[in-house]
A and B are shown apart, each in its own frame.
Chain A
Amino acid sequence: MTTTKITSRRSAPGSSAPASAGSAPHNAKPSPSEKKKWGYTVLAIFFLAVMLFPVYWMINASLQPNGTTLETSWLPLKPNFSGYATAISEQGGNLGTSLIISLGSVALSLAIAAPAAYALAYFKVRGAGVVLFAILISQMIPGIVVANALYTAYNDLGLLNSIPGLILADSSHGIPFAILIIRAFMNGMPSSVIEAARVDGAGHVRAFWSIVVPLSRNSLITAGLFTFLFTWSDFLFALTLTTTEAVRPVTLGIFQYIGAYVNDWSSVMATAVLASIPAIILLVAAQKYIAAGTTGGAVK
């Protein structure tokens, strides 16, 4: 599902442009009356409120006092941060583990995906079609199949319960997606710029590093943000490729919380809120980068 996420995100900015343009005062199309338009807005806010109620409920429940599971009040009138205190003392280390793994996976994914995307978009190397087809097919492979085989291999290699092991495995969420999104961007890059650099005597590596990478900055950031989110959200590999508490991403920490009988929902929800922060940041930040990527491509 991971890649899917990104894709749609990518198409979102492009499609949002006409919509927001539509709400601007100068509108070529005859529009319904102002009143009716605001009526739609009210309806849309209602839909949004229904859809985001669980998110509200997560935040609300995280602000309830510890242990009072029986009657969570509908509004956090007296916010209590003891849930967060428990969450940070019990899951703080796991959040750190998740952060390290996610950053490592972003670095690895970009290091592998960016040159590959360049080769696919610019060189049109022989076999590019096969590689793209393999990426497509890879998305059909259930994670449990990968985990099943990796567990035995990791066991032999001593990679179980290790951060490098999880970085490598988690990158399988991000690398195929990153290749596709960066390649799509590089396809729109004017090849004359690279050719000019090559004529000036720049080697492939230099042309790539000093021309291609800066030019594709926005697509790299977009791919990096999504890779971060995929890895941060990873549950399957955290669950199957760790057997001790030595390395424990926060998703697994939450699973362990809810696996037993829960009598302290405020700490669970506080952890859930902390684990949602990257998604919320991405919702704000990635939109900008995706929009930049789309318009950047269009300007050319």
Chain B
Amino acid sequence: MSLTTDVSRAKSRPGSERTRGGEAGQDPQATPTRGRRNRKTRERVFQWLFLVPAVIYMALFFGYPVVKNVVMSFQDYTTATFFTGEAPWVGLANYAKVLSSSLFSTSLLNTALFTIGSIAGQFVIGLALAVFFRRRFPLNGILRSLLLLPWLLPLIVSSAVWRWILDKDSGALNRFLGQLHIVDTGIPWLTSTSLALIAVVGVNIWIGIPFNLTILYGGLQEIPDELYEAGSLDGATGWKSFRHITWPMLRPVVNVVLVLGVVYTLKVLDIILGLTNGGPANSTQTIATQSYRLSFQEFKFGEGAALGDVLVIISLVFAVLYLRASRRSIDE
């Protein structure tokens, strides 16, 4: 979405400049008398009223939860709190407990592997498909838009379908591999501690390919054909033209796609809960799922909040990277 913002910001630029120019044109001739200033203030207030509901909503459903979460992370907030209304302050105890738990290092590692694996797979395949779809051939537009379907399905639907495909005994994947005589016995994709994370990453790659394809394809369309024509005169074709023309021109879009991908992948919950519920033996537990488990299955809301804040901090680091990347892409 931030990408959209970028695009819309870039697009809106001429329009907004025009308006701004219009305002500037009015300002010099305005020698504000008091009545005029009053009218202007009233006008301002009126204009703000259009924005107020959105501001209130954002404050209640994004601002408040973040603040409340930070507060809760310093409290002993459990089921009992709902009856007694008391949540004693415990300082950093929740953080100490959560961070020193052996599960934390497991879920941190899983989060890193899940994020890196998903992003790498989505990006490489998405970029390859985007380059492929840049060729002109019949039905290109229709086929490309149909590719979006995996991305539009509710994540829990995708999880359910893949649970069935990856089923050890009668899943489609094992039957397919069996008929090709690649494997003799069913592979326990989702029930083996060594395979489950790989399977979950694979499913998440499948979900993320359309997003990467679409954004990267949009970026490719912005590269003028003349560059390739000039390049081919200089002997830059195929891989050479990709390396020296496509890749450098696409860099700003690549930055945005990667950082956005990381931020969205860090908070993934649906896919993992649907496919493995964090198991087997926590082998697919990430920080997000672990935070969910602490709060909503063990009812240790304080500890869940602390872990959630850790996730926020990790996301913010990437948010800063994103803002820097997007500013650079706007400047360019």
* Chain A residues with CB below 8 A from B292, complex form: 144, 147, 240
Instruction: Give chain B nearest CB distance to A146 CB in angstroms.
Output: 4
* Chain B residues with CB below 8 A from A265, complex form: 164
Interface size on A, residues (CB 8 A): 126
B65 touches A139 (CB 8 A): no
B61 touches A144 (CB 8 A): no
Choose the segment among B27-35, B90-98, B240-248, B258-266 that binds chain A (4+ C-beta atoms closer than 8 Å). Answer: B258-266
B153 touches A139 (CB 8 A): no
A8 touches B50 (CB 8 A): no
* Chain A residues with CB below 8 A from B54, complex form: 112-113, 115-116, 131, 175, 179
* Chain B residues with CB below 8 A from A183, complex form: 8, 12
Does B133 interact with chain A (Cβ within 8 Å)? yes
| Complex Cα spacing A257 to B217, Å | 38
B149 touches A279 (CB 8 A): yes
| Complex Cα spacing A10 to B165, Å | 31
Interface residue ranges of B50-66 to A (CB < 8 Å): 50-51, 53-55, 57-58, 61-66
| Complex Cα spacing A52 to B153, Å | 11
A155 touches B82 (CB 8 A): yes
Does B103 interact with chain A (Cβ within 8 Å)? no
| Complex Cα spacing A160 to B53, Å | 23
B161 touches A269 (CB 8 A): yes
| Complex Cα spacing A128 to B65, Å | 22
Does A245 interact with chain B (Cβ within 8 Å)? no
Mark contacts of A243-277 with chain B using CB atoms, 8 A cut-off: 1 yes-contact digit, 0 otherwise. Answer: 00000000100110111001001001100100110
Instruction: Give chain A nearest CB distance to B148 CB in angstroms.
Output: 6
Instruction: Give chain B nearest CB distance to A242 CB in angstroms.
Output: 11
In-complex Cβ contact of A142 among B150, B153, B273, B288 (8 A): B288
A23 touches B141 (CB 8 A): yes
A135 touches B50 (CB 8 A): no
Does B181 interact with chain A (Cβ within 8 Å)? no
* Chain B residues with CB below 8 A from A283, complex form: 145-146, 148-149, 152
B154 touches A19 (CB 8 A): no
| Complex Cα spacing A153 to B1, Å | 28
Does A151 interact with chain B (Cβ within 8 Å)? yes
A119 touches B47 (CB 8 A): yes
Mark contacts of A129-149 with chain B using CB atoms, 8 A cut-off: 1 yes-contact digit, 0 otherwise. Answer: 001101111111111111111
Interface residue ranges of A169-219 to B (CB < 8 Å): 169, 171-172, 175-177, 179-181, 183-184, 187-188, 191, 204, 208
| Complex Cα spacing A153 to B60, Å | 11
B206 touches A54 (CB 8 A): yes
B65 touches A150 (CB 8 A): yes
A187 touches B8 (CB 8 A): yes
Mark contacts of A65-90 with chain B using CB atoms, 8 A cut-off: 1 yes-contact digit, 0 otherwise. Answer: 00001111000000000000000000
| Complex Cα spacing A122 to B83, Å | 49
Name the residue on A nearest B128 (C-beta). A47
* Chain A residues with CB below 8 A from B72, complex form: 148-149, 152
Instruction: Give chain A nearest CB distance to B61 CB in angstroms.
Output: 5
| Complex Cα spacing A262 to B77, Å | 35
| Complex Cα spacing A112 to B158, Å | 31
In-complex Cβ contact of B145 among A38, A168, A287 (8 A): A287
A259 touches B277 (CB 8 A): yes
Instruction: Give chain A nearest CB distance to B266 CB in angstroms.
Output: 7
* Chain B residues with CB below 8 A from A4, complex form: 1-4, 211, 260, 264
**Given A44-B140, A255-B156: A7 and B133 interface contact (C-beta under 8 Å):** no
In-complex Cβ contact of A23 among B62, B136, B151, B311 (8 A): B136
In-complex Cβ contact of A208 among B50, B140, B217, B270 (8 A): B50
In-complex Cβ contact of A54 among B44, B65, B147, B161 (8 A): B161
* Chain B residues with CB below 8 A from A128, complex form: 51
With a 10 A CB-CB cut-off, give which of A1, A116, A240 has the most chain B CB atoms. Answer: A1
* Chain B residues with CB below 8 A from A144, complex form: 267, 269, 288, 291-292, 295, 304, 308, 311
Name the residue on A nearest B63 (C-beta). A134
With a 10 A CB-CB cut-off, give which of A125, A140, A172 has the most chain B CB atoms. Answer: A140
A141 touches B312 (CB 8 A): yes
With a 10 A CB-CB cut-off, give which of A181, A187, A232 has the most chain B CB atoms. Answer: A187
B137 touches A184 (CB 8 A): no
Interface residue ranges of B29-48 to A (CB < 8 Å): 44, 46-48
* Chain B residues with CB below 8 A from A119, complex form: 47-48, 50-51
B267 touches A142 (CB 8 A): yes
* Chain A residues with CB below 8 A from B210, complex form: 8
Name the residue on A nearest B134 (C-beta). A19
**Given A8-B211, A115-B53: A232 and B136 interface contact (C-beta under 8 Å):** no
Mark contacts of B117-136 with chain A using CB atoms, 8 A cut-off: 1 yes-contact digit, 0 otherwise. Answer: 00000000000010011011
In-complex Cβ contact of A180 among B1, B145, B149, B291 (8 A): B1
* Chain B residues with CB below 8 A from A18, complex form: 221
In-complex Cβ contact of B154 among A140, A143, A149, A276 (8 A): A276
B138 touches A148 (CB 8 A): no
B152 touches A124 (CB 8 A): no
* Chain B residues with CB below 8 A from A38, complex form: 137-138
Name the residue on A nearest B164 (C-beta). A265
A204 touches B47 (CB 8 A): yes
A172 touches B61 (CB 8 A): yes
Does B185 interact with chain A (Cβ within 8 Å)? no
**Given A112-B54, A120-B51, A148-B295: A276 and B153 interface contact (C-beta under 8 Å):** yes
Q: With A51-B206, A272-B157 given, name 6 new contacts (CB 8 A).
A: A15-B221, A40-B137, A51-B150, A149-B66, A254-B156, A258-B160
7 A/B residue pairs, CB under 8 Å, sorted by A: A4-B3, A119-B47, A123-B47, A141-B312, A184-B4, A235-B156, A254-B157
User: Closest 8 A-B residue pairs measured CB to CB?
Assistant: A3-B1, A7-B4, A184-B8, A116-B54, A233-B154, A149-B65, A187-B12, A22-B136
